[in-house]
Structure 1
Amino acid sequence: MPRDSGPAPTGIDPEQLWLRPARPRRGRKPAFTREAITAAAVALADAEGIEAVTMRRVAAQVGAGVMSLYSYAPDKDTLLELMVDHVSGELPSGAPPTGDWRADLRALAHLQRALMLRHPWLPAALATHHTPGPNALAFVERALAALRPTGLDGAARLEVFAQLTAFVAGHVAHETARTTVTRSPERAAAEARYLAAVAADGHHPELAAALAAPGRPLTPDATFSRFLDRLIDGLATD
């Protein structure tokens, strides 16, 4: 991801980022906080996309000088880590597992989808996000507890949660992209005629059978639920 000009990034140190107090390295105490900086970056990304988030734009949002922001987030990658964990705080983490791991996993996936739909930049950010902060870890803990009845060991449960998150992120990215494309009724009708012609040519029997099958609800919620059920069914261990 492109970076702003400024101090060269030296890599993200999770211990420094999450376990030590956030404070500027030099100068007098500023009138803003790391939390305010992160919230401003999230608001900017929500409104204009992640590409709009630059240190200069965020500094303008909080009324700070650009250089002062580097005391809290030395580069955009660090700021992105802060943003991901900030919005992860919207995920409820305190609900105890019900004992039905499939139902719990479905509930977790729907919570993730709702979060990503509120913050459409999040699926892309997760692809480069490597250091879960306290909010993200609280949700991971909930997911691991929900998966305990599967009998999988801890490493496998982590893999299942990663697989679930990747599925949700990919689905939401596709879902969001489709909502930005305007398809005219004429285009939709032309596509339907084309598929009907292909299905009738005798060379695509599987496609013809699929198109002839009873239709299913195509609302975003229904489609996501069907795909999610197939994923979870594939994870069953009994």
Structure 2
Amino acid sequence: MTREDGSGTPGRDPQQLWLSPGQPRKGRKPAFSREAITTAAVALADAEGLEAVTMRRVAAQVGAGVMSLYSYAPDKDTLLELMIDQVSGELPASAALTGDWRTDLKTVAHLQRANMLRHPWLPTALSTRRSLGPNTLAFLEHALAALRPTGLDGAAKLEIFAQLTAFVAGHVTHELTQAAAAGSPDRAAAEARYLAIVAADGHHPELAEALSAPARPLAPEATFTRFLNRLIDGLGTD
């Protein structure tokens, strides 16, 4: 029997999940749909984090029995796949491209960041994703089109997209952690005092020099843009 946390289960085959989605058993028409279940799960994750998303909680949100949900999502892993693809539908996959692949790729990254900030659970969820749903594929198609002017082969384009997505997910995770830490000014001040002492001990000259340099703007958007520019401007087409 499927466990509540979905562990130890293989999940649904991608073809069955995305091309031949399961239908509820025969009988009277249910009062909910796969989309409604996924929407409820996304709302729970947005409000309380992934830990709050259980089949029982989602069933309560849509007013259904837990067992009836398994016709749509046989386990939590499958539900997570549905959630990822649903929020990926918020990414504009048909936006016009400039033809400058670096500019277009930076736009792709900014769109991904905005999506992950709207859904803070998404960076973690992406690390466990096992298949690409239709919305995810649509945005991937857009990103690959942005990379067409590079002349790179398909494998290299896919690698760049994976690298970019991993960068954005990692940065957003750090960004959210820093935002939470900002709510504890005493801790931040203690960390600054500690680094000042370490930098002055004579054993870390490189750190001392780095800390003495003029500070860069710390606004989240500006910081992300600086890091992103370094990553994409450094990408070659060999």
Shorter-chain TM-score: what band? over 0.9
1:11 aligns with 2:11: yes
Task: Kindly indicate whether the alpha-carbon contact (under 8 Å) linking 1:96 and 1:142 is maintained by their aligned counterparts in 2.
Answer: no
Q: Which residue of 1 aligns with 2:163?
A: 163
> 1:200: Cα distance to partner?
2.3
| 2-structure distance, mates of 1:185, 1:123 | 26
1:172 partner SS: helix
> How big is the shift at 1:5?
7.0
Partners of 2:104 and 2:154 in 1: how far apart?
17
- Gaps of at least 5 residues in structure 2 are none
Return 5+ residue gaps in structure 1 as ranges. Answer: none
Deviations 1:180-202 (A, max 9, x none): 23554444333333322322222
Identity %: 76
Q: 1:155 to 1:86 in 2, by over 3 A?
A: same
CA distance in structure 2 between the aligned counterparts of 1:211 and 1:47, rounded to whole angstroms: 37
**Which amino acid in 1 is paired with 2:102?**
R
Query: Aligned runs of 1:36-115 on 2, under 5 Å?
Result: 36-115=36-115
Instruction: Please give the alpha-carbon distance, in whole angstroms, between the structure 2 residues aligned to 1:63 and 1:209.
Output: 60
Q: Which shifted more, 9-18 or 125-134?
A: 9-18
Contact conserved, 1:49 with 1:121, CA < 8 A, in 2?
Answer: yes
Task: Name the amino acid aligned to 2:138.
Answer: A
Q: Distance in 1 between matches of 2:236 and 2:5?
A: 49
The alignment's TM-score, normalised by the length of structure 1, stands at: 0.93
1:14-37 deviations in whole A, cap 9, x for unaligned?
111111244213443211110001
The answer to whether structure 1 residue 120 and structure 2 residue 120 are counterparts is yes
Relative to 1, partners in 2 of residues 1:121 and 1:101: Cα closer, same or farther, differing over 3 Å?
A: same
- Deviation digits for residues 50-79 of structure 1, max 9, x if unmatched? 110011100100001111100000100110
Q: What are the superposed Cα offsets for residues 123-156 of structure 1, whole Å, 9 maximum, x if unpaired?
A: 0100010211110000000000001111110111
Provide TM-score, normalisation by structure 2. 0.93
Structure 2 Cα separation of the partners of residues 201 and 195 of structure 1:
10
Residues 22, 34 of structure 1: 8 Å contact kept: no
1:229 counterpart = 2:229: yes
Secondary structure of 1:9's partner? coil
SS at match of 2:181: coil
Which is worse superposed, 191-200 or 216-225? 191-200
SS at match of 1:235: coil
> 1-side partners of 2:10 and 2:233: how far apart?
43
Give every structure 1 segment of 4 or more consecutive aligned residues whose post-TM-superposition deviation is greater than 6 Å: none
